[in-house]
Amino acid sequence: MLTLYKRINHKVERAAQKYRTARAALLSLDPDAPWKEKFKDLRKEDIRGPGRDSDDKKTTNGRFEPSWISLVTRTRDFTQTEEEFNESLRVEWAKTYARSMRWQEEYQIVLEEMRRVLASFEWKASWWESQAGLRDNGDVQTLSGVSAYAYKQAHITRQMAIRCATSWLPTLDKHGIKPEWAKTYPGAMALVAKIRGEEKNDNAKEDELKDKVVKEDIEEELDEEDVADIVETPSDTESDEESYDLFEYDDYI
């Protein structure tokens, strides 16, 4: 995967350098041509996809602005109508939607592969247990050894399934994914509950520390006279019923 990533990145850099070289040549030949409005200066931050990066937590989908590369049409002329511009945006949207659906498929495939790995381990463990009593010829020690070996292999296979579930469930739980096979492994579920409790305690300690810091800052800003004024100042609202002029019902009529 690292080799494939480096290969793709090298192709992207080579294409960007080719574009910069061609643009520099056209700029030297015709500096005032209208093509500059379409083929702009290619910066490093412009080389990105049309959609928002999943790691970008600051920019929302509504405020995300795609790179100008995704907005350039493939028409030969430099004049672009509004209809052509909308059509190019529809094409880019369709491509982005297809990529999103492909990632959704990959997400489902990964979950199914996890389930199949665990199911394969469980089947193999049951198969080893079924082999324990098949052999009936031999002395007692040999048969006991064969049976013990089969049960040992079944135990090892089940431990491999438990280890996979223990490694996967905390990560899945962090992303809000709760597979059906999770209930089969109570030890892994207990680990998830333990991690949740530790994260909850850490968040509570962090909130308590923040409240303490805010309280100390407020106490530093307020001196003793300000605190006394706040305590001794009466409330503007009076709850005494005598302060209000109440009309009798007959008078009101």
**pLDDT, tens only, 162-208:** 989 988 888 888 888 888 888 888 888 888 888 777 767 766 666 66
pLDDT at 75: 55
Give residue 70's pLDDT band: very low, low, confident or very high (50, 70, 90).
Answer: confident
State the angle between helix axes of 140-174 and 186-221 in degrees (0 to 180), rounded to the nearest 10: 30
- C-beta of residue 42 within 8 angstroms of C-beta of residue 23: yes
pLDDT average, residue stretch 77-87? 73
Quick: pLDDT tens for 106-141: 888 999 999 999 999 999 999 999 998 888 887 888
Domain ranges for the chain? 16-55+65-104, 111-216
What pLDDT, on a 0 to 100 scale, did the predictor assign at position 175? 83
Per-residue tokens: 91? 């094409």
- Position 235 pLDDT exceeds 60: no
Average pLDDT over the chain reads 77
Counting residues of the chain whose pLDDT is more than 70, the rounded percentage is 70
Question: Cβ(100)–Cβ(136) under 8 Å?
Answer: no
Structure token digits, residue 36: 């500059």
pLDDT at 50 over 70: no
pLDDT confidence of residue 202: 65
Place of tokens 């192709």: 11
* pLDDT score recorded for residue 90: 87
